[in-house]
Amino acid sequence: MAMKFVVCVNKEGLGDLSGEDVTIGHVYETIGDTDQHGMIRIIDQSGEDYLYPVDCFEAVTLSDRAEHRLHDALAKMSA
């Protein structure tokens, strides 16, 4: 299963609660694809996965090796 990553480029409209769990310029791992409502599930800085508006993120293309290394590093940080 290919891992997908996005970078946060916008936090407008997220509100106080969810806005604190993402940071502009940070890279996040996604779970699944964008849903029919324009939402994407990411593992945010809380270590949990939540839905966010896809407009707040841009896709990041990485090599397979970089994807696996980043996935492992993010998993260690949230543990």
Token readout for 5 is: 């990553």
pLDDT in tens, 40-63: 999 988 888 999 999 999 999 989
* Full-model pTM: 0.80
In the predicted model, what is the mean pLDDT of the chain? 86
pLDDT of residue 3: 67
What H or E segment, with its residue span, contains residue 64?
helix 64-78
Residue 25's pLDDT band, with cuts at 50, 70 and 90, is very high
pLDDT of residue 17: 58
Q: Which residues does 44 contact at the CB level (< 8 Å), separation at least 6?
A: 18, 21, 22, 28, 50, 52
DSSP 3-state helix, strand, coil percentages of the chain (rounded to 5)?
30, 30, 40
